[in-house]
């Protein structure tokens, strides 16, 4: 049984399952080079058919994980909420949402029929796809699941109960009029950034703020009561000029930091209360949907200590819908989807060796991992930024050693310098990576069984040692968003670079940040990486073919080393 999953919404993607395993998953943006690509993932599908040698006849079922049409529960909650709010705009909103979803669905069918004739196609609910991908990836036998995002199939949040034996059952639905994702998006726009894209900057800004009366004012617009998300009669959390105007008036007396703090406060307050109300203490909790891309929210949920186990799906946004759709089709065909072992599900660097830029490039080939990683460690010690290109690319928003930039974290000023060099404006510091054996020295109450640190989906409070030795990766609230890896990690070069830095130079923590150009998706091919090198985003590229690649005239790019 081979199943192709497709999502053509925000951050469109494909996933491909053989029997009960997902063997390939790729976001369209990685090939199209358009961040959060919207529309049919044509290039990814062509890649699967051409480079992975999957024939049309190999595919038994196509699972569509975009928009199935609203469930009864979502429709009922929307109507209830619209009646209570007495806001006429809710009717317009309903028409618009249904039209948008219909357009996506139409786009899917037009394109899929151009690729395949007479295939069985199954459509799955947007939030059910979020839930299924996360639940089966967790490997738990039973769990509760929370899926919260901007919107999808008229919903912005659903709470589910799941077990491998009985499947996934809907417990509570919150319609899109109660969207916490859109509230966060509104504040993102209000502070001058793009919603659906820059929400992470607001999370970073929030740590600079403090509690003000604005928290209560926002809670008057959208709040929690007895298991419900309540919205004020005069407020709908959408990014429309009128709604933004209202929000702007309320926020006017407050600083950007205080505004960011307030929206983060409201988000954490409502989600925490929903957890206390709906989630039993003894059952693991699984989280998915764009809201749980918020690493500070995820830290807060862990620190509630309400459930012993928490799993955050690494591709929590809509990019993960194709993965969930495959899981659901597997279940519908009598299979139990396999647990996620890692997120390296995309194309390998070595599958695409051709490149266009050939002048002035030096390739230095090393004969062993030991020699290669010793040289890389030396370069890191000297202050270089290393671009690592190892094996299959990550499925999900984070660079996790497949396509990463690595450098030293022992000087706070490095954030400013590297941000300038990469043309980024971030309020969060860069994220750290270290070995599992060292993590308890750097993070308070570090849980060695916490799988989320494999995927950088949560924050931890840092110890004084971390603050002192690696300040570049510690935020103003003394937290960091770590990746922690051990000797079993599938990226051997990545693991050995970190090990060598520690052995040879006593550097136990490195910065691991996205290998990409400003506002572009993470690099996928050597070509993408070379373009990035040419833009001076890094000093050299290290590949899984044991090469260190650099431009001959790149020697004067060591701006970082001048300060370290
Ligand atoms: Fe979604």
Domains of the chain, earliest start first: 2-73+85-130+322-332 (3.30.420.40), 139-314 (3.30.420.40), 349-557 (3.90.870.20)
Per-residue pLDDT band at 14 (split at 50, 70, 90): very high
Separation in Å, CA 461 to CA 255, 450, 474, 507, 532: 25, 14, 9, 20, 33
Q: Does the structure show a pLDDT above 60 at 143?
A: yes
Q: How far is the CA of 319 from the centre of ligand 1 (A)?
A: 8
Q: Does the structure show a pLDDT above 60 at 561?
A: no
Q: How far is the CA of 9 from the centre of ligand 1 (A)?
A: 9
Q: For the residues 241-263, what does the mean pLDDT come to?
A: 91
Q: How far is the CA of 141 from the centre of ligand 1 (A)?
A: 24
d(CA 548, CA 376): 8
Averaged pLDDT of the chain = 93
Q: How far is the CA of 310 from the centre of ligand 1 (A)?
A: 20
* 309-313, 437-441, 545-549: segment of lowest average pLDDT: 545-549
* pLDDT score at 358: 55
pLDDT (tens digit, 9 = 90+) per residue, 166-213?
Answer: 999 999 999 999 999 999 999 999 999 998 889 999 999 999 999 999
* pLDDT score at 553: 65
More confident residue, 79 or 87: 79
Q: For the residues 209-235, what does the mean pLDDT come to?
A: 94
- Global pTM exceeds 0.75: yes
* pLDDT score at 563: 37
* 1-5, 233-237, 451-455, 514-518: segment of lowest average pLDDT: 233-237
* pLDDT score at 470: 97
Per-residue pLDDT band at 349 (split at 50, 70, 90): confident
Q: Does the structure show a pLDDT above 90 at 412?
A: no
Q: How far is the CA of 318 from the centre of ligand 1 (A)?
A: 5
Q: Does the structure show a pLDDT above 90 at 503?
A: yes
Q: How far is the CA of 538 from the centre of ligand 1 (A)?
A: 34
More confident residue, 519 or 102: 102
The DSSP secondary structure of 488-545, one letter per residue, reads T-S-HHHHHHHHHHHHHH----EEEEE---TTSPPP-SHHHHHHHHHTTS-SEEEETT
Angle subtended by helix axes 241-251 and 180-190, to nearest 10? 70
Spatial neighbors of 245 by CB under 8 A, at least 6 apart, are: none
More confident residue, 359 or 398: 398
Tokens representing 86 are 């007495």
Q: How far is the CA of 134 from the centre of ligand 1 (A)?
A: 12
Q: How far is the CA of 68 from the centre of ligand 1 (A)?
A: 13
pLDDT (tens digit, 9 = 90+) per residue, 465-501?
Answer: 999 999 999 999 999 999 999 999 999 999 999 999 9
Q: For the residues 306-333, what does the mean pLDDT come to?
A: 97
| Exposure string for 51-82, b = 16+ CB within 10 A, e = fewer | eeebeeeebebbbbbbbbebbebbbebbeebb
Separation in Å, CA 203 to CA 48, 209, 247: 36, 10, 18
Q: How far is the CA of 151 from the centre of ligand 1 (A)?
A: 6
Q: What angle do CA 118, 124, 127 make, to 5 degrees?
A: 160
Please check whether residue 330 is in contact with residue 337, taking contact to mean a CB–CB distance below 8 angstroms.
yes
Please check whether residue 501 is in contact with residue 507, taking contact to mean a CB–CB distance below 8 angstroms.
yes
Q: How far is the CA of 321 from the centre of ligand 1 (A)?
A: 7
Q: How far is the CA of 124 from the centre of ligand 1 (A)?
A: 12
Q: How far is the CA of 74 from the centre of ligand 1 (A)?
A: 14
Q: How far is the CA of 98 from the centre of ligand 1 (A)?
A: 15
Q: Does the structure show a pLDDT above 70 at 547?
A: yes
* pLDDT score at 554: 56
pLDDT (tens digit, 9 = 90+) per residue, 93-140?
Answer: 899 999 999 999 999 999 999 999 889 999 999 999 999 999 999 999
Q: How far is the CA of 69 from the centre of ligand 1 (A)?
A: 13
Q: How far is the CA of 499 from the centre of ligand 1 (A)?
A: 38
């Amino acid at each position: 049984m081979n199943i192709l999953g497709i999502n053509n919404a925000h951050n469109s993607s494909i996933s491909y399952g053989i029997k009960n395993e997902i063997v390939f998953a790729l976001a369209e943006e990685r090939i199209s080079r358009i961040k959060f690509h919207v529309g049919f993932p044509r290039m990814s599908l062509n890649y699967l058919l051409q480079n992975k040698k999957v024939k049309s006849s190999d595919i038994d079922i196509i699972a569509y994980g975009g928009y199935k049409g609203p469930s009864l529960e979502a429709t009922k909650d929307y109507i209830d909420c619209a009646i209570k709010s007495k806001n006429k705009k809710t009717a317009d909103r309903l028409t618009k949402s249904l039209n948008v979803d219909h357009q996506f669905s139409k786009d899917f069918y037009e394109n899929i029929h151009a690729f395949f004739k007479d295939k069985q196609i199954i459509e799955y609910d947007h939030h059910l796809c979020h839930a299924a991908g996360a639940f089966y990836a967790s490997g738990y036998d039973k769990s509760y699941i929370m899926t919260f995002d901007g919107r999808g199939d008229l919903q912005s949040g659903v709470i589910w109960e799941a077990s491998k034996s009985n499947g996934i059952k809907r417990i509570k639905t919150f319609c899109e009029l109660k969207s916490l994702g859109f509230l966060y998006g509104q504040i993102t726009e209000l502070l001058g950034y793009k919603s659906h894209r820059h929400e992470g900057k607001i999370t970073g800004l929030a740590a600079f703020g403090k509690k003000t009366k604005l928290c209560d004012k926002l809670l008057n617009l959208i709040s929690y009561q007895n298991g419900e998300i309540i919205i004020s009669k005069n407020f709908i959390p959408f990014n429309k000029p009128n709604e933004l105007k209202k929000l702007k008036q309320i926020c006017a007396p407050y600083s950007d930091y205080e505004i960011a703090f307030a929206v983060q406060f409201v988000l954490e307050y409502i989600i925490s209360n929903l957890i206390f109300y709906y989630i039993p203490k003894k059952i693991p909790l699984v989280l998915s949907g764009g809201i749980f891309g918020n690493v500070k929210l995820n830290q807060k949920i862990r620190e509630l200590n309400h459930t012993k186990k928490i799993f955050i799906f690494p591709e929590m946004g809509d990019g993960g819908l194709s993965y969930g759709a495959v899981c659901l089709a597997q279940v519908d065909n009598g299979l139990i989807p396999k647990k996620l072992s890692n997120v390296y599900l995309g194309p390998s660097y070595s599958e695409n060796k051709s490149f266009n830029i050939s002048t002035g490039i030096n390739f230095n080939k090393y004969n062993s991992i030991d020699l290669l990683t010793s040289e890389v460690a030396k370069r890191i010690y000297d202050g270089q930024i290393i671009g690592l290109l190892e094996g299959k690319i990550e499925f999900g928003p984070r660079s996790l050693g497949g396509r990463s930039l690595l450098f030293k974290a022992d000087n706070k000023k490095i954030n400013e310098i590297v941000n300038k060099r990469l043309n980024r404006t971030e309020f969060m510091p860069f994220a750290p990576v270290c070995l599992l054996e060292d993590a308890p020295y750097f993070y308070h109450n570090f849980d060695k069984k916490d799988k989320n640190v494999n995927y950088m989906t949560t924050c931890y409070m840092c110890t004084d040692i971390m603050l002192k030795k690696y300040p570049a990766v510690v935020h103003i609230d003394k937290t960091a968003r770590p990746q922690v890896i051990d000797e079993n990690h599938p990226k051997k070069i990545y693991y050995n670079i970190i090990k060598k830095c520690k052995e040879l130079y006593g550097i136990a923590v490195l910065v691991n940040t996205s290998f990409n150009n400003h506002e572009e998706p993470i690099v996928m091919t050597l070509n993408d990486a070379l373009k990035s090198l040419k833009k001076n985003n890094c000093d050299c590229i290290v590949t899984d073919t044991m090469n260190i690649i650099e431009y001959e005239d790149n020697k004067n790019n060591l701006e970082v080393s001048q300060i370290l």
